[in-house]
Amino acid sequence: MPDKKPGIDSGGHTSVGRDDARKIDPLDSGVVSGGSSQLTTEDEHAAETYTVVAGDSLSRIAKRRYGKGSMWKLIYEANRDKIENPDLIYPGQVLRIPKI
């Protein structure tokens, strides 16, 4: 008959004493959720994102988003770090579309 080792039963399972067990908080997993394009209503300055496609202009995007093409300036102001000339936007650019 083999010698019994402390902490190991004959079924091959390890037993851990209460002092040895780590307590894990399931709500504190240490995992950070990935970014997404979802908006939260808590942030009054939240913005959607839009990826420019061929044929787009700021006024066309504004017309689709706000119902008025003349509101293109809102999009331009929110993206001045990405847009040097409001008449030149490029397919693939990701723009912030501010909430109004």
Average pLDDT on 49-69 reads 97
- Report the chain's mean pLDDT, rounded to a whole number: 74
7 within domain boundaries: no
Domain count, the chain: 1
Q: Which of 88, 92, 86 is nearest to 74 (CA)?
A: 86
Compute the distance between CA of residue 28 and CA of residue 36 in angstroms, rounded to an integer: 21
b/e sequence 5-39, b meaning 16+ C-beta within 10 Å: eeeeeeeeeeeeeeeeeeeeeeeeeeeeeeeeeee
**Spacing of C-alpha 17 from chain mean position:** 41
pLDDT for residue 6:
57
pLDDT at 95 over 50: yes
Does residue 77 lie within any of the structural domains? Answer: yes
- The answer to whether residues 74 and 98 touch, using CB atoms and an 8 Å cutoff, is yes
- Identify the residue with better confidence: 70 or 6: 70
The model scores a pTM over 0.85: no
In a domain, 72, yes or no: yes
